[in-house]
Amino acid sequence: MTRDCLVTPVPFSAGTEKPAVAVPAGACDCHVHVYDSGFAPAPGARLLPPDASASDYGPLQRRIGTTRTVLVTPSTYGTDNRCMLEGLAALGEQARGVAVIDGSESDEALQQLRIQGVRGVRLNLSLGVSGSADLLEPLAARIAPLGWHLQLLMAPDLLASLAPVLRCLPVPLVFDHFGRIAPAQAGTHAAHALLLQLLADGKAWIKLSGCYIVSPLHTVDDPALDALAQGYLRCAPDRVLWGSDWPHATATAGVQPLPDDARQLDRLAQWIDQAPNSGATLRGVLVDNPQALYGFAAPAATPASPLSDDDLKRPMP
């Protein structure tokens, strides 16, 4: 299948083409951040990307064909969720949020986050500037009554060491960025084995997001990613999610090249093509699985409207 070419690049995404894969109606991008210099970064924050708003993200949605979004409070803001919540308000009913909390929030504050669209909290032990592994059990206890999940990001050695705690937490777990497992660690590291076990037991979800981060070549086209992604899909296709990681803060910081998000979707389709019942699996990863985890309504059966060139006239920052 050929990829349709567009005229104008969209903010913070390389390439000018739509995905070759037919993206199903109701598809969700499950890992997106928004940034606004009007909100002060947390002390010690290491990623300080340029402003990237929900309005900036809109052209990417129209380019790649997704209509639903999960906004995640980035490490830049610590436990300040205002920027993420502002983005949720702009995106409306087709968006959900993952907040960062320290556990001292009142029940009323957590209920307000739920009303605003939050469905989980993130503990970033990789680049985060707030929280520690000691918060795993207290945070899980706070959010369990809300039906929220706990999203985790940490180095594989730390992940493996926390296996006894993770197996007993009373909430679903979501691991972003391939669980931070490098392709060479698939099948060899205890953290990878733990993730597969948690997925198979129905206790966890995995986001196929940030593949260019875990790739030693820092590219979505790294063939070493194939076995890692396909292993997750074989293990628990109903527990796999996809996310672009827009606006790619590590790329704008110069750590990796800016990825092509349409190509990221096509790579997902390539990994799924190796699985049985690939058409249903693609819909599962992009539509059904996010619907189950984040509480989206069932999408309408009508296809998304075609992309217009006028949709993509917003200048590149």
Give residue-wise pLDDT tens across range 53-90.
999 999 999 999 999 999 999 999 999 999 999 999 99
- 235 — pLDDT class (breaks 50, 70, 90): very high
Q: 133 is written with which tokens?
A: 């592994």
What is the Cα–Cα distance from 140 to 149, expressed in whole angstroms?
Answer: 8
Residue 14, burial from CB neighbour count under 10 angstroms (0-12, 13-18, 19+): middle
pLDDT, tens digit (0-9, with 9 covering 90-100), for 162-183: 999 999 999 999 999 999 999 9
Position 2 pLDDT exceeds 90: no
Position 304 pLDDT exceeds 50: no
Give the pLDDT of residue 276.
59
What is the Cα–Cα distance from 146 to 108, expressed in whole angstroms?
Answer: 12
- 3 — pLDDT class (breaks 50, 70, 90): low
Position 251 pLDDT exceeds 90: no
Give the pLDDT of residue 130.
75
What is the Cα–Cα distance from 314 to 61, expressed in whole angstroms?
Answer: 13
pLDDT, average across residues 254-261? 86
SS (H, E, C) the chain: CCCCECCCCCCCCCCCECCCCCCCCCCEEEEECCECCCCCCCCCCCCCCCCECHHHHHHHHHHHCCCEEEEECCHHHCCCCHHHHHHHHHHHHHEEEEECCCCCCCHHHHHHHHHCCEEEEEEECCCCCCCCHHHHHHHHHHHHHHCCEEEEECCHHHHHHCHHHHHHCCCCEEECHHHHCCHHHCCCCHHHHHHHHHHHCCCEEEEEECHHHHCCCCCCCCCCHHHHHHHHHHHCHHHEEEECCECCHHHHCCCCCCCCHHHHHHHHHHHHHCCCCHHHHHHHHHHHHHHHHHCCCCCCCCCCCCCCHHHHCCCCC
What class is the 28-294 domain?
alpha beta
Q: 116 is written with which tokens?
A: 């605003």
- 150 — pLDDT class (breaks 50, 70, 90): very high
Average pLDDT, the chain: 91
Q: Where are the domains of the chain?
A: 28-294
What is the Cα–Cα distance from 296 to 277, expressed in whole angstroms?
Answer: 24
Position 310 pLDDT exceeds 50: no
pLDDT, tens digit (0-9, with 9 covering 90-100), for 263-284: 999 999 999 987 656 779 999 9
Q: Taking Cα atoms as reference points, which of 84, 86, 76 lies closest to residue 49?
A: 76
